[in-house]
Amino acid sequence: MAEPVDRLFVHCRELVTLCDGEARGPRRGDRMRDLGVVADGAVAVRDGRVVATGTTDRIGRDYRAAEELDLSGFVVLPGFVDCHTHPVFARTRENEFHMRCAGADYMAIAAAGGGILSSMRAVREASFDDLVERTERNLWGFAAHGTTTVECKTGYGLSLADEKKSLEALAAAAAVVPLTVKRTFLGAHEFPPEYRSDREAYVRLLCDEMLPQLAKLADYCDVFAEPGVFDAAQSERILAAARAAGLRLRVHADEIQPMGGAELAVRLGADSADHLGRISDEGIRAMAASDTVGVLLPGTIFFLGKPHYAPARRMIAAGCAVALATDFNPGSCHTQSMTLIQTIACVQMKMTAEEVVTAATINPAFSLQLDGEVGTLHPGKRADLCVLDIPSWRAIGYAFGGNPVAMTIKNGTPILANISERDPDWFARGADLDPSRGPSATH
């Protein structure tokens, strides 16, 4: 007799389960290519979690549900896990983009009032309600692009009061948007103007006041470890203070110049080292022998017009756990599209379609200690799904421009559908998404 469940998602053209590998832990090397693809696939869901996956014929025999959603023609995979973003900001910085395109360098942009300090001024001037509204809108933007789990950094307040405002605004926004949100305190993003002539005083402020008071509002601490920003000694002091305050660690490492950031992240047991455009051979070896995930951000290099992409092929060959993320922010990478990031990773870093799927699901989930909850469709995990309007999983990376995400499903419930614009009768065929949820029916 068929077992009752809450909902069935059936007739997926291809269901990418990632169940060929272990349910937990990162995928490395050749294991990044184990996708567990099921043709004419189906997912049975109860209480927001996966009960079983398989062919529609088998799942239809073994399970019954009052609600059944036909996903004919779509490629379905675990919801994307975007593990490096900066969505808590008050204004965009498109003027800087056009200045860069016209040949301006960082110093010229900074002299014109741009850069991180521009975002700092905007956050400091913004009301709490305005910051919540902007952050909420940004979180819905991730959902519109198939992301169901997102790590969100602060770092545009750069004072105790404004970093507190940013973390509280993030919490308020996350409370009304149905995504899994991890919060990262990034007070060590830059030195604010009032401390530019006394950087040691700002490091003391971070370690002695900001971290002890704000740790309860965050899950992680991150540091922009880079020559000219926070040097190796300062970065280690801040990260050690964060760990003492009960936070887990993430590190902006070796982005612009080599500084041993990857080695520092491994030595301190950080969950991730991010960017890595200038990672050393020693850093690659250290990461390969560790559980520190290398979070690669090719969108930033692309957007800034820089040549130094992270050496993904060497890192994968060495056995590093590699993830991809958008680095969504107002200045250096203004995109929330994981599918676009996958294309750049394929073209510029020579990653395969299988690798970019793994790098956008289970590996970033591991970096957030959520690999037991999301990142694959093993039974017991959250039924988080990304529904793509593409002909095959092999079109991941190949298909770019526009948004191929037809629908985003969180905990077994559709939360956002872009397809309704293309197919007005779609809801009538079984979808129960409330069109009032989110900022609009199709975002």
**Domain layout of the chain by residue ranges:** 3-78+376-429, 81-367
Assigned CATH topology for domain 81-367:
TIM Barrel (3.20.20)
Of 310-324, 387-401, 421-435, the poorest mean pLDDT is in 421-435
Residue 419: pLDDT band by 50, 70, 90 thresholds?
low
Say how far apart CA 271 and CA 264 lie, in whole Å: 12
Residue 249 confidence (pLDDT) above 60: yes
Residue 421 confidence (pLDDT) above 90: no
Residue 436 confidence (pLDDT) above 50: no
Mean pLDDT of 407-432: 72
Mean pLDDT of 195-215: 97
Residue 426: pLDDT band by 50, 70, 90 thresholds?
low
Is 3-78+376-429 assigned to CATH 2.30.40.10? yes
Residue 269: pLDDT band by 50, 70, 90 thresholds?
very high
Q: Give the model's pLDDT for residue 241.
A: 98
Mean pLDDT of 336-360: 98
**Virtual CA dihedral for 299, 304, 305, 310, nearest 10 degrees?**
-50
Average model confidence (pLDDT) for the chain?
Answer: 94
Of 107-121, 211-225, 374-388, the poorest mean pLDDT is in 107-121
Name beta bridge partners: 249: 221
Mean pLDDT of 376-387: 98
Mean pLDDT of 244-259: 96
Residue 107: pLDDT band by 50, 70, 90 thresholds?
low
Q: Give the model's pLDDT for residue 430.
A: 45
Residue 113: pLDDT band by 50, 70, 90 thresholds?
confident
